A and B are shown apart, each in its own frame.
Chain A
C-alpha cells in the first residue's frame, strides 16, 4: 500500500459501518488486511486504481507530457540568466508580436462579448424557424480544426475573395480568425445566465414604470455582466495562445501581423529555443493570470462552468 493509503486510513473512523478505509462493513475494528482481501466498500473502484499506485501513475503521465516539458521551457528561458531573458523578451520583434497579440485579443474579446450577448439574447428570447440550427452553428468553431477555420476565412476573405474583401496579411484578417475561434466562449457563458434570468423581475420593474431602456440597463445587464466578463476572459485567454486559425491568413509579417505564438513557432523552427522559451514564459504567465482571475470571478459571482 502506498503512503496514500495510509493517509486515507488515518481519516477512517474505526468501527463505523461506512468507514472510508480498511474496514469492511459489519466487521468493525481496525485489523491488518492481508493483500488478498478485497478493498473496502467505500470507493471500491477508486481503490483499485490506487492499489496500482494510481496517483503516482497519474502524476507520472501528466509530468511526462506536460509538467516536465513546461519546466524545461522555464529553465531554457532563464538558461542564459535574467539579462538574456530580458533581451529576448524586449527584442523589438518580440515586443511587437506580444503587443499585437494582447491588443488584438482584448479587442476581439470586447467585440465578441457584445456579439455574444446579442446572440444569446436572440437564442433565449427570440423565436423563429431554424433557431436550433443557429445554436448548432455557434458550436461549429469548437469542433472545427483551427487550420480548417483559417482556410475557410482565407477562402472568403483572402486574395481571391469573392466578396472582394482581401484581409490576407492584415491585422483585420488576424482579428477575423480570432473572432471565429472565440465565438462559442462568448455565447455559451452568457446564454445560460440569460435563460435563467427571472422574467418576473423585469415585469415588476416594468409595472413600476420602468421604461424598456431602464429595464435593460438597470435589471438585465447587471445580472448578466459577470458572465459576459467571464466569457470575455475565456475568449481572451484562448486568443492569446491561438495559432492554427491565424497561420494561413496572417502571412506572419513581423511588426504587422505576426502574433506571439507565430513568433514562437518561427524561433522554434530555426532552433532558437532560448528566445522561443523566453517569449513563451511571458505568454503563459499572461494566460495563467487571466484564467486565475476568471476562476476567482466564477466563485465570487457563482457563474456556472458550462464550457
Chain B
C-alpha cells in the first residue's frame, strides 16, 4: 500500500486514536494539577498524608525490588545452569502473577496471613501483623512484580551459554569472581530492564495493595491508594498532583527502558528466530 490513498487517513486515524485514548487524558491531568497555580499544587503535594503515602511507597520499593532482584537472578541462574526434576514446573509457576488479577493476589495473601487465615493464629501469637500493615503491602507488591527480573535475565543467560564462565574457571577464577566479572556484565542490560519493570510495577501497584493494606491514611496508605482516596474524598487537586508525580516516575521508567532496551533491537532486527 505504498503511497496509497489510504496512507494519510490511516496515519491521522491512528494519531487521533492515540491522542484521545492516551495523550489528551494524560495531558488533562497535568493541566488540572497545575492550573490552580504552582503554590496550590505544592500545597496539595505536601499534605502530611500525601507525603507519608509517598514515603511508604518508596519504602515498599526499597524492600520489594531488591528481594525480587535477588530472587530473579538466583532463579534465572538455577533454571539456566542446572538440571533438576521439576525445573519446567518452576519456570511455569513463576509466570502465575502475570495471569492472576492483582485483587486475587491480595485476597490470597489475606487467606494465609490474615487473622482468620491459615497462619493467622500462629502469627498473632507472636504479635506479628502482616495484613492491614506494612509487611502485607510489601508482600503483595513483591508477589505481583515477581516474574519481571526472571523473564528478562533468564533468556540472556540461556543465550550466552557457559563457555566464558568455563574459561574463567579453568584460569583459576573463583565462583564469586566468575559471577562478578563474567556473568553479571553479560546480563547487565537484561537485569537493568527487569529491575526497572519491577520498580515501575511496585510503584504503581494498586489492586493487590488495596486489598491487603486497609488504607489507613497516614499509616498504611500507599501513594496509589492515596490518589484513589483523594478522589473519593473530593480532593481532586491532591489526586491530580499525585498522579503527576507518578506520571513523571513513569516517564523516567520509560526513558530507562528505552536506554536499556534489548527488545527494541529485536523489534527492528531479526525477529523470527
The yes or no answer to A1 lying at the interface (CB within 8 A) is no
Closest residue on chain B to residue A111 by CB atoms: B17
Distance to closest chain B CB from A222 (angstroms): 15
Q: Across the interface, do B75 and A244 meet the contact criterion of CB distance under 8 Å? A: no
Residues of the A chain whose Cβ atoms lie less than 8 Å from the Cβ of B246: 144-145, 147-148
Residues of the B chain whose Cβ atoms lie less than 8 Å from the Cβ of A85: none
Contact of B100 among A38, A269, A284 (CB under 8 A): A284
Interface extent on B, as a size class?
35 or more
CA distance A125 to B2 in the complex (A): 8
Q: Across the interface, do B250 and A69 meet the contact criterion of CB distance under 8 Å? A: no
Q: Across the interface, do B143 and A65 meet the contact criterion of CB distance under 8 Å? A: yes
0/1 per residue, A184-201, Cβ < 8 Å to B?
000010011101100000
Q: Across the interface, do B11 and A146 meet the contact criterion of CB distance under 8 Å? A: no
Q: A45-B77, A134-B18, A147-B206 are in contact. Are A65 and B84 (CB under 8 A)?
A: no
Closest residue on chain A to residue B172 by CB atoms: A38
Distance to closest chain B CB from A120 (angstroms): 9
Q: Across the interface, do B22 and A140 meet the contact criterion of CB distance under 8 Å? A: yes
0/1 per residue, A55-67, Cβ < 8 Å to B?
1011101101111
Q: A154-B231, A155-B28 are in contact. Are A180 and B22 (CB under 8 A)?
A: yes
The yes or no answer to B217 lying at the interface (CB within 8 A) is no
The yes or no answer to B146 lying at the interface (CB within 8 A) is yes
Closest residue on chain A to residue B78 by CB atoms: A54
The yes or no answer to A103 lying at the interface (CB within 8 A) is no
The yes or no answer to B128 lying at the interface (CB within 8 A) is no
Closest residue on chain B to residue A238 by CB atoms: B98
0/1 per residue, B221-258, Cβ < 8 Å to A?
00010011001000000011001001100110110011
Residues of the B chain whose Cβ atoms lie less than 8 Å from the Cβ of A82: none
The yes or no answer to B123 lying at the interface (CB within 8 A) is no
Q: Across the interface, do B117 and A72 meet the contact criterion of CB distance under 8 Å? A: yes
CB neighbors of B among A138-193 (8 A): 138-148, 150-157, 162, 176, 179-180, 183, 188, 191-193
Distance to closest chain B CB from A189 (angstroms): 10
Q: Across the interface, do B84 and A264 meet the contact criterion of CB distance under 8 Å? A: no
Residues of the A chain whose Cβ atoms lie less than 8 Å from the Cβ of B210: 265
Distance to closest chain B CB from A51 (angstroms): 9
Q: A72-B108, A212-B4, A276-B107 are in contact. Are A152 and B25 (CB under 8 A)?
A: yes
Residues of the B chain whose Cβ atoms lie less than 8 Å from the Cβ of A42: 81, 162, 165-166, 169
Name which of A41, A54, A146, A148 has the most chain B CB atoms within 10 A of its CB. A148
Q: A45-B165, A196-B271 are in contact. Are A140 and B254 (CB under 8 A)?
A: yes
Residues of the A chain whose Cβ atoms lie less than 8 Å from the Cβ of B62: none
The yes or no answer to A237 lying at the interface (CB within 8 A) is yes
Residues of the A chain whose Cβ atoms lie less than 8 Å from the Cβ of B139: 64-65
Distance to closest chain A CB from B226 (angstroms): 9
Name which of A138, A141, A143, A216 has the most chain B CB atoms within 10 A of its CB. A143
CB neighbors of A among B182-222 (8 A): 183, 200, 203-207, 210-211
Contact of B80 among A46, A72, A144, A240 (CB under 8 A): A46
CB neighbors of A among B52-80 (8 A): 67, 71, 74-75, 77-78, 80
Q: Across the interface, do B78 and A125 meet the contact criterion of CB distance under 8 Å? A: no
Q: Across the interface, do B101 and A242 meet the contact criterion of CB distance under 8 Å? A: yes
The yes or no answer to A68 lying at the interface (CB within 8 A) is yes
The yes or no answer to A277 lying at the interface (CB within 8 A) is yes
CA distance A193 to B271 in the complex (A): 7
The yes or no answer to A84 lying at the interface (CB within 8 A) is no
Q: A180-B22, A264-B104 are in contact. Are A46 and B206 (CB under 8 A)?
A: no
Closest residue on chain B to residue A50 by CB atoms: B82
The yes or no answer to B96 lying at the interface (CB within 8 A) is yes
Q: Across the interface, do A144 and B247 meet the contact criterion of CB distance under 8 Å? A: yes
The yes or no answer to B259 lying at the interface (CB within 8 A) is no
Closest residue on chain B to residue A41 by CB atoms: B169
CA distance A155 to B210 in the complex (A): 22
The yes or no answer to A43 lying at the interface (CB within 8 A) is yes
Q: Which 4 A-B pairs have the closest CB atoms?
A: A145-B204, A46-B81, A241-B101, A69-B108
Supplied contacts A152-B243, A265-B207, 7 more A-B pairs, CB within 8 Å: A39-B175, A46-B77, A57-B74, A146-B204, A148-B247, A268-B110, A284-B101
